[in-house]
């Protein structure tokens, strides 16, 4: 964005006085909305431009210091990167008592040193069904809650080929919300692409970043369950997922922040309707048809969604099933069907439940309540059924054990003498 001239500033003042919105002024002048807000704030306060009063590096005789620092920094940086002006400001402040701001240092560097070399990036049109790109955006929206606009997060997913998109609103960006948003978005686009290109958020990439990062354990299990690969962008390279970045800007163009909704569900319904109308209007660049028509053609190339989507989870563990047909998780023990004794199973901590999953088939073996007071949660059905080539069925319960189980499941508390009478006949 070029520096605003005096004519631009005057235009902003006139358009604001005529009642035109700040976003409309920004689009008209091809500047950011933040620049418009800043100029209007300065005009309202009648404040002079203080940049002219900033002390110049030339006035303090620091040109040689800056030049030497620049050469040292450039030797260790790739051709497309420039030295960090904040590091230079810290140096000048600490060793030369420089009274200026970081911005004054940045302006000096721009005026006296060459800009970095441009590195073009490849534009790749992916085949149908191959990739989707995802991203978050933050918004303050009136959703009918006390205190005015509430901070909510929009999860964006867009198919790279057809440009079909889904927007899912969440109150948080934690691991459970991340998985929940994926479930909702994939349901809206009707299938699962082969690859999801993501940012380097901790809910997606646990250690490192980009191609050298390690996928978050919970997210890796989720991706394996649904059958897609995770492809993380390089840091500070938004153009590597430019399709979803463009749609994030498209959501802001809908001016959602200046609308009122009764609750989050109302906001989601309004957004779904806007997306449905928008994909009929927009054109798909690879096909020339509407996005909706291109999406219909792409649907058959997406992996079908499972009958039951994985419940969002924020903890996962792979553990062996013990000889007593139980597996340990979060300080508790949960029963597993006896056929899995000695084999690894996956235990997932969901919002209110614990799921025991077969890692080979991703089938849910058992579901238990999470964070209970009880430390052992058993299920008698886990000991029933036919044996396998590897495992024999457990020894059947004897008469006494069957009677004890009957009393336990009856839910009636008995005194010791009553228990004695109930068990006496069995003991003969």
Using alpha carbons, select from 97, 131, 137 the residue that is nearest to residue 243: 131
| Per-residue confidence (pLDDT) for residue 424, from 0 to 100 | 54
**For residue 241, how many C-alpha atoms fall within 13 Å in the half-sphere facing its CB?**
28
Using alpha carbons, select from 243, 241, 246 the residue that is nearest to residue 230: 241
Query: Residue 70 CA to chain centroid, in angstroms?
Result: 37
Largest CA distance in the chain: 107
State yes or no: pLDDT of 73 exceeds 70: yes
Residue 250 CB partners (closer than 8 Å, separation 6+): 278
State yes or no: pLDDT of 298 exceeds 60: yes
State yes or no: pLDDT of 79 exceeds 80: no
For strands 332-335 and 376-377, give the pairing: parallel
Tell me which range, 73-77, 107-111, 194-198, 222-226, is most confidently predicted by mean pLDDT: 194-198
To which residue do tokens 């999406």 refer? 295
In angstroms, the CA 380 to CA 393 distance is 13
Summarised one tens digit per residue, pLDDT across range 371-387 is 999 999 988 889 888 88
State yes or no: pLDDT of 289 exceeds 90: yes
| Per-residue confidence (pLDDT) for residue 11, from 0 to 100 | 85
The DSSP call for residue 142 is B
**Number of continuous H segments (helices) and E segments (strands) in the chain:** 13, 14
Using alpha carbons, select from 59, 44, 230, 32 the residue that is nearest to residue 132: 230
For strands 150-159 and 131-141, give the pairing: antiparallel
Summarised one tens digit per residue, pLDDT across range 109-156 is 888 888 877 777 677 788 999 999 999 999 999 999 988 899 999 999
Summarised one tens digit per residue, pLDDT across range 269-286 is 999 999 999 999 999 999
Which residue would you say has higher pLDDT here, 331 or 111? 331
Mean pLDDT of the 179-205 span: 95
Contact 42, 6 (CB under 8 A): no
| Per-residue confidence (pLDDT) for residue 1, from 0 to 100 | 47
- pTM here is 0.65
**For residue 77, how many C-alpha atoms fall within 13 Å in the half-sphere facing its CB?**
14
Task: Mean pLDDT check: name the lowest of 88-97, 281-290, 335-344.
Answer: 88-97
What are 379's two structure tokens?
A: 């299920």
| Per-residue confidence (pLDDT) for residue 338, from 0 to 100 | 93
425 confidence band (pLDDT: 50, 70, 90): low
pLDDT, the chain, mean = 86
- Rounded to 5 degrees, φ, ψ at 11 are -60, -40
Residue 45 CB partners (closer than 8 Å, separation 6+): none
| Per-residue confidence (pLDDT) for residue 147, from 0 to 100 | 86
Query: Residue 104 CA to chain centroid, in angstroms?
Result: 36
Which residue would you say has higher pLDDT here, 266 or 398? 266
Mean pLDDT of the 311-325 span: 91
State yes or no: pLDDT of 352 exceeds 70: yes
In angstroms, the CA 417 to CA 396 distance is 28
């Amino acid at each position: 964005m070029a520096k605003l001239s005096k004519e631009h500033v005057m235009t902003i003042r006139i358009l604001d006085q005529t009642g035109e919105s700040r976003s409309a002024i920004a689009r008209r002048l091809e500047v950011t909305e933040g620049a418009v807000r800043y100029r209007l704030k300065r005009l309202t306060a009648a404040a002079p431009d203080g940049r002219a009063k900033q002390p110049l590096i030339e006035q303090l005789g620091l040109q040689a210091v800056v030049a030497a620092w620049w050469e040292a920094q450039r030797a260790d940086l790739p051709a497309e990167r420039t030295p960090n002006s904040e590091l230079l400001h810290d140096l000048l402040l600490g060793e030369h008592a420089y009274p200026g701001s970081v911005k004054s240092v940045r302006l000096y560097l721009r005026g006296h040193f060459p800009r970095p070399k441009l590195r073009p990036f490849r534009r790749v049109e992916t085949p149908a069904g191959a990739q989707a790109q995802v991203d978050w955006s933050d918004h303050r929206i009136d959703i009918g809650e006390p205190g005015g606009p509430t901070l909510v997060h929009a999860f964006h997913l867009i198919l790279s080929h057809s440009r079909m998109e889904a927007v899912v609103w969440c109150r948080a960006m934690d691991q459970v919300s991340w998985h929940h948003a994926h479930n909702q978005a994939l349901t809206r686009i009707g299938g699962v692409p082969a690859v999801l290109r993501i940012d380097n958020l901790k809910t997606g990439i646990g250690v490192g970043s980009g191609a050298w990062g390690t996928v978050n354990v919970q997210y890796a299990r989720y991706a394996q369950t649904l059958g897609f690969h995770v492809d993380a962008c390089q840091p500070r390279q938004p153009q590597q997922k430019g399709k979803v970045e463009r749609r994030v800007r498209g959501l802001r163009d809908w001016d959602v922040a200046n609308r009122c909704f009764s609750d989050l569900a109302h906001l989601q319904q309004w957004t779904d309707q806007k997306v449905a109308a928008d994909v009929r209007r927009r054109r798909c660049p690879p096909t020339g048809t509407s996005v909706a028509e291109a999406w219909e053609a792409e649907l058959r190339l997406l992996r079908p969604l499972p009958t039951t989507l994985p419940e969002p989870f924020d903890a996962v563990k792979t553990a062996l099933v013990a000889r007593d047909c139980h597996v340990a998780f979060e300080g508790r023990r949960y029963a597993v069907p006896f056929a899995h004794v000695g084999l690894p199973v996956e235990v997932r901590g969901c919002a209110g439940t614990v799921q025991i999953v077969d890692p080979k088939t991703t089938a849910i073996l058992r579901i238990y309540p999470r964070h209970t007071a009880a430390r052992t949660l058993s299920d008698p059905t886990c000991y029933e059924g036919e044996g396998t080539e590897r495992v024999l069925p457990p020894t059947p319960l004897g008469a006494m054990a069957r009677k004890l189980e009957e009393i336990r499941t009856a839910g009636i508390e008995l005194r010791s003498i009553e228990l004695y009478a109930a068990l006496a006949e069995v003991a003969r």
